[in-house]
Amino acid sequence: MGTLAARHPGLAAVPVVSLLGLAGTPPTAVFPGKLQVFTAAIDGGHGWLAGLAVANTAASLFCCLRWLVPAFWQQPAQTGAEALQPAGRWAALAAYTTGAASLAIGIAGAAVLPLVTGPHTR
């Protein structure tokens, strides 16, 4: 049989990207915004708050990674032809598209963030 990662590596990568995005780690789309918030907290004299946010990120990363263990290391409970089958082509296309978009925005975050936040005045 095999794990999801062995049978459908592309579909197994999508939850990795999505859950890392929820935790706000690079190179996902959430990271540039999270980095800006951490920087603003430090610049505002609230380093303790930034430290607390980093600790919260580490805790959320641990919780998110717990969801990935079954996809990569545990055999599925269900056996047969229907085990680990994608829901369909449209579902797989949507998963690939959102995973790729999250990575693309995360990698190009330095260029995208100013477009979203608008001009800065000081």
Task: Give the confidence band of 1 by pLDDT, cuts at 50, 70, 90.
Answer: very low
% of residues, the chain, pLDDT over 70: 77
| C-alpha to C-alpha distance for 111 and 11, rounded to whole angstroms | 28
Q: Tell me: the pLDDT tens digits for 49-108?
A: 999 999 998 898 888 878 877 777 766 565 555 555 666 788 888 989 998 988 888 888
Higher pLDDT: 45 or 66? It is 45
- Token representation of residue 32: 């540039």
The domain locations on the chain are 4-117
Contact 16, 25 (CB under 8 A): no
User: Closest Cα partner for 31 from 17, 44, 45?
Assistant: 17
- Token representation of residue 117: 């936040």
State the pLDDT at residue 52.
94
State the pLDDT at residue 7.
76
26 pLDDT above the threshold of 80: yes
Strand, coil or helix: 93: helix
Does pTM top 0.85 for this prediction? no
